[in-house]
Amino acid sequence: MTFVPVMWAVWAALVVISSALYLYRSRLTRDEENQVFLDDSFNEEKVAQEAIVAKVNKIQPVLHLTLWILAAVTLFVIVYYILEFIHRLS
């Protein structure tokens, strides 16, 4: 197997993973509400909102890491094709 298909497969896999993480986070935050619970009668809602925030905070570092790796791989692909273009000109 040559290098270019592997490079594109890795890039595509990272795009799919990043997209899946974004979709998961957006599904979690869909039910999140920005409100302050001042009364103890709303304790169930408060616990539910805290659970949502905990899940979002748990996935956030993974999402950031995936985006940084995706940016690095994208830069690698761009540099590869620039160097390939320069090599063909000379």
Quick check: is 71 in a domain?
yes
Which pTM value belongs to this model?
0.78
Quick check: is 14 in a domain?
yes
Over its length of 90 residues, how does the chain's per-residue pLDDT go in tens digits?
699 999 999 999 999 999 999 999 999 888 666 666 566 677 777 788 888 888 899 999 999 999 999 999 999 999 999 999 999 998
Q: What's the pLDDT score for residue 32?
A: 65
21 with 66: CB under 8 angstroms? yes
DSSP character at residue 31? T
Q: What's the pLDDT score for residue 18?
A: 96
Quick check: is 59 in a domain?
yes
Q: What's the pLDDT score for residue 65?
A: 96
Q: Quote the CA–CA distance of 18 and 44 in Å, as a whole number.
A: 32
Quick check: is 81 in a domain?
yes
For the chain, the domain total comes to 1
Domain carrying residue 84: 3-20+43-89
Quick check: is 36 in a domain?
no
Quick check: is 48 in a domain?
yes
Quick check: is 68 in a domain?
yes
Which DSSP string do the residues of 7-59 spell out, in sequence order? HHHHHHHHHHHHHHHHHHHHHHHHT-------SGGGHHHHHHHHHHHHHHHHH
